[in-house]
Amino acid sequence: MSHTLKQYYEYVVGMSLLLFAISLSLYPFAPSSEAAFIAEYHLKAPVGLSFSVFVSLIIFIITSILYFSSDSFVGNLFIESSGLSMIILNYLNYYAIAETWHPIMFPIPLFIYIKYNGTAALQFDWGQVGIIILLYRYYKFTKNPPPFIKSR
């Protein structure tokens, strides 16, 4: 069954919302060795979101390895939708970190510079990698569409 590029990306957004909900539902299962409540803030939110991002990232990596050059509609749908849900969860996690600890955060290419209490760190940003991969795939699909996408 052939779809237009617009229909394909509508499926991607729908599946992404489903994967987003599934990953977020795993939030309570986050392994946290910290005390559940500290006087200033509750650690469950950033730790749970980080775990949800990890789950989405693993799904994205596994589906990318299995289906990256495939002509399978379902395989490509899982790559794109898991990537999109991972990106959304990743930046939602950075927002939760910013609201919890109020660090200074700057995005730079492929990294996030985080400074908190005089300590600075460069953290690899998987969200930017996901954006680059999804933009590359979109460009590739517009130039040379796979068999499940109708040509114009």
Structural domain boundaries of the chain? Answer: 5-143
Q: Give residue-wise pLDDT tens across range 117-129.
A: 889 999 999 999 9
pLDDT at 146: 85
Indicate the pLDDT class of residue 34, thresholds 50, 70 and 90: low
Whose CA is closest to 90, among 134, 24, 44, 137? Answer: 24
Backbone angles phi, psi at 33, to 5 degrees: -95, -5
Count Cβ atoms below 10 Å from residue 116 Cβ, excluding itself: 13
- The tens digit of pLDDT for each residue in 77-105 reads 999 999 999 999 999 999 988 988 889 99
Measure the CA–CA gap between 41 and 145, rounded to whole angstroms.
49
* pLDDT, mean of residues 58-73: 90
CB-based contact 86:53 (threshold 8 Å): yes
**What pairs with residue 124 in β-bridges?**
111
101 Cβ contact partners less than 8 Å away, ≥ 6 residues apart? 41, 116
